Structure 1
Amino acid sequence: MADHSKKLHIAMFPWLAFGHLIPFLELGKLIAQKGHRISFISTPRNIERLPKIPSNLAPSITFVKLPLPHVENLPENAEATMDVPYHIIPYLKKAHDGLQQPLSHFLETSAPDWIIHDFAPHWLPPIATKLGISRAFFSIFKASSLCFFGPSKSSVTEAHEPRTEPKDFTVPPKWVPFPTKIAYRLFEAKKIFESFEENASGVSDWFRLLTIYLGADALAVKTCTEIEGEWMKLLGELHDIVPVIPVGLLPPSTQEIGDNNKDSTWGTIGEWLDKQEKGSVVYIALGSETQPTQQDFTELALGLEQSGLPFFWALRKRSGSVGGDSVELPEGFVERTQGRGVVWTDWAPQLRILAHESVGGFLTHCGWSSVTEALQFGRALIMLPFLTDTGLIARFLEEKEAGVEVPRNEENGSFTRESVAETLRLVVKDVEGKIYRDNAKEMATIFGDMNLQSTYIDKFVELLENRRRVREG
């Protein structure tokens, strides 16, 4: 624990997406465990939707609610990416930029030692610098994804041809000095290319990221060297203006699995899983941000049906989504798969489900936090990425042979029920898929090693403490 007189006050300011909020909260809890004080800053509705803090940490973590300014085209009560369709997200970024003044006021009156922030607030570094507050950019994107996006110094990019069209993103960048297949498919590259162009928020996502890189005192990454050693080394070279430090994979503590026992939904789910053969069930969850088209959704459902495998599908409707078209299961799907599969439309205790021995594979959108939870328990992956860097994560895990991506059309990203069924059977059941099941189990020795992951937090907290000593000295 930290010496009480040396207790740090750390503000945390994640982007308005639960794929960001949750890892930030996890990191905040781990720093609080070391005896430091956390101010976790977000909007009122997002804070209300976060998981409860363990009682022993509650005195060390304060939630700071900053109301989101009203912005034209942003529906009322929309405070996170899960609340809006994809094309509305730039307006959410515009509203987020409107938090500049209230956040400045909080920093001025609270004087934290550090602010750990996300990629979005490009206006934050000069404010924090003026107030003498140290800045750490915490990236929920892993090292290989950050390397793919590019360096923060122009000398590296000037040495290579600039990426001026989507197809340039379908090959590994020239600054990667070792062999890799990590790159975007053409249909993904077209979408990613948009992040380099100015959007309705007034700036591009790339501008935000670059400004944040250049204004940070440290770059913290949700990864570990046992998984991404060569990528971390390269990331340090691409951003040699600041210390680049892994904070570990932030796997949720197994104590949280126990906490789910108190949850009444577990009784029904656990009872059903207990009746299934060991390693036979496919668990399906596409995350809170993913918005598949009706065609994708239909092919996925029919592929699941065609696979003949038992399944548990966590199909929670996007909470309070405004203006997004809801998708429907194919007619008769639930009746035809009754007994063999469960379609669960309420909140599902994902960690508890993945920990159950009857689960043999996880059909995932490849969000880095979801993947971490699955590999913590050695579950092989059936990968169906949709957003931002999830395609790069899928290629990374294919290189590690911890799972297989559902084959798709390069041009438009479409896939068939047959390809879903074949990939599911390969990863969960077929003899040829044993390598993926074995490798996923092997990766659990890293992803599930709490002591190893804890050493990364120790080193990160040491960096935070040292910075203050240097300032005071």
Structure 2
Amino acid sequence: MDATKRSMRVLMLPWLAYGHITPFLELAKKLAQRNFQIFFCSSPVNLNSIKHKISDHPNKPNNSIQFVELHLPSLPSLPQENHTMKGLPFLLFPILLKALDMTKPQLSDIIQTLKPDLIIYDVLPLWIPDLASSLNIPSIAIITGGVAFVCVMSFYHVEDDKHVDEREFPFPELYPDHLRIKFSQMRKLPPLSDEQGRDMSPLSMYKKSNSIILVKSCEELEGKYMDYLSASFGKRIVPLGSLVPELVNNDNEGMDIINWLNKKAKSPTVLVTVGSELSMGKEDMVEMAHGLELSNVNFIWVIRFNEGENIKIEDVLPNGFLERTTERGLIVENWIPQMKILSHENIGGFVSHCGWGSVMESIKFGVPIIAVPWALDGPWNARVVEVSGIGLEIERENKNGKLLRESVAKVIKQVVVEKSGEEIRRKAKEMSESIRMKDEEVTNRVVKELLQLCDS
């Protein structure tokens, strides 16, 4: 099939979380500019939140991206506005999965109506590749998180029930001391099965991908992990780059923050945030505050509390902290335009939980990372950041893993201002430039792989 002769029809099925929808949409834009017809399928509440990203885009595709609504049933505890991971209470997650599973007949009808040449799917729902296969449609997976983390999970996903010896794993740099206890206590994980005994673990989704697996990453950062995963899964691993949206500076979002930044000297300011779905405990928040104060570095600190918590910021921070840091610190509650801030020339470091989306954004803008991972894949992403030389992780207390103010201050100063951090700052800029220069080459390879797949 030649995309120059006939537009290749691709159905995209991202998971219902914004951090998954965004990279899918960025890939959709790139493919749409190369004569692909994209059908982007999600719940109405998710689609309504992203439609402006197409209509407002300076290079918007001419009807090459069509949104397809997937209507989840409105269960008593799951109204339509909750048909998304954004702001979803944790207790409703299983109900959202149940509702999504109930759309299988509807999605089958959508596929048969659209007749796509290819389906690109995400980690959930687990039955997508089997449904595509039953309809004789090739399908491929996207890994929207870090490849190194999937390598670790793949290492544990075997059928026996034996303890794991991490010495067998070829990347010892992914085993920092504060994770060794967790690894030594883990058993190799048996596959999750459905009623028919079929493997239904998230890793099975990748193994069912036709010939290739797309990954939201770059060879400069995770090349050796891609090689390992390719051998493990028996698939070609095709990097997509960062898939970070292009920055559009035609709005006034966050201008109060930008105006504050404009008054600071070049590169002495750090952005501090632990992501949109996490919040620090009070003890760690106090240590972070003291660390920021001790570092004597300018900072923008995004502080969030769990939904429903009626807490005042001044009640959780050290006495007098706000007054003592008023000239060099800015406290922000809730949402910020993170990319716009990271792109500012006066940002010299990113204190991050190391969610993969944040890692990619930091790399795109050449900002070194001060890693303070909290949960999920963060600890392993932090190791990738440090091993690659584009950041440092803040050491925690060995006994209980809590933050220590002295460590916070030490790492911030080293990464942002001290001579010992010059190499980190240089590598962050170099990786950013390298990825930017190869963007067209990376996209061309993806197009070639997709065309080959549908020609075979």
1:223 corresponds to: 217
Task: Tell whether 2:50 aligns with 1:62.
Answer: no
* 304-313 vs 396-405, which moves further: 304-313
SS of alignment partner, residue 12 of structure 2: strand
- Structure 1 distance, partners of 2:21, 2:151, is 23
What are the residue-to-residue correspondences of 1:46-195 with 2, within 5 Å?
46-50=46-50, 52-53=53-54, 54=57, 56-57=60-61, 59-70=63-74, 77-86=81-90, 88-150=92-154, 157=158, 164=163, 168=164, 172=166, 174-176=168-170, 179-182=172-175, 185-186=178-179, 189=182
Deviations 1:31-84 (A, max 9, x none): 112121111111122222236112622511112222333457657732333423
CA contact under 8 A between 1:315 and 1:346: conserved in structure 2?
Answer: yes
- Structure 2 distance, partners of 1:185, 1:39, is 44
1:378 corresponds to: 366
2:253 to 227, 251, 265: 265
Q: Report the residue type matching 1:131 in the other structure.
A: L
Structure 1 position 212, deviation (Å): 1.0
Q: Report the residue type matching 2:222 in the other structure.
A: E
Task: Tell whether 2:357 aligns with 1:350.
Answer: no
2:240 corresponds to: 247
Q: 1:372 to 1:286 in 2, by over 3 A?
A: same
What are the residue-to-residue correspondences of 1:433-448 with 2, within 5 Å?
433-447=421-435
2:264 corresponds to: 276
Task: Tell whether 2:313 aligns with 1:329.
Answer: yes
The TM-score normalised by the length of structure 2 is 0.85
1:31 corresponds to: 31
SS of alignment partner, residue 414 of structure 2: helix
- Structure 1 distance, partners of 2:444, 2:13, is 21
Q: Count how many residue pairs are aligned between Structure 1 and Structure 2.
A: 443
CA contact under 8 A between 2:279 and 2:304: conserved in structure 1?
Answer: no
1:403 corresponds to: 391
What are the residue-to-residue correspondences of 1:421-436 with 2, within 5 Å?
421-436=409-424
Structure 1 position 4, deviation (Å): 5.4
CA RMSD in angstroms, aligned pairs only: 3.4
Task: Tell whether 2:443 aligns with 1:457.
Answer: yes
Deviations 1:96-152 (A, max 9, x none): 323322222211211111111111222122211121211111001222222111169
SS of alignment partner, residue 342 of structure 2: helix
- Structure 2 distance, partners of 1:293, 1:194, is 29
CA contact under 8 A between 2:3 and 2:36: conserved in structure 1?
Answer: no
Q: Report the residue type matching 1:21 in the other structure.
A: I
- Structure 2 distance, partners of 1:151, 1:63, is 37
- Structure 1 distance, partners of 2:95, 2:186, is 18
- Structure 1 distance, partners of 2:62, 2:285, is 40
- Structure 2 distance, partners of 1:143, 1:421, is 30
Q: Report the residue type matching 2:37 in the other structure.
A: R
Q: 1:403 to 1:65 in 2, by over 3 A?
A: same
SS of alignment partner, residue 52 of structure 1: helix
CA contact under 8 A between 1:311 and 1:342: conserved in structure 2?
Answer: yes
The TM-score normalised by the length of structure 1 is 0.83
- Structure 2 distance, partners of 1:334, 1:197, is 50
- Structure 2 distance, partners of 1:436, 1:62, is 42
Unaligned runs of 5+ residues in structure 1 are: none
Task: Tell whether 2:303 aligns with 1:309.
Answer: no
CA contact under 8 A between 1:10 and 1:39: conserved in structure 2?
Answer: yes
Deviations 1:244-271 (A, max 9, x none): 2222222433xx2xx22x2123543332
- Structure 1 distance, partners of 2:446, 2:334, is 37
Q: 1:35 to 1:316 in 2, by over 3 A?
A: farther
Q: Report the residue type matching 1:133 in the other structure.
A: I
SS of alignment partner, residue 83 of structure 1: coil
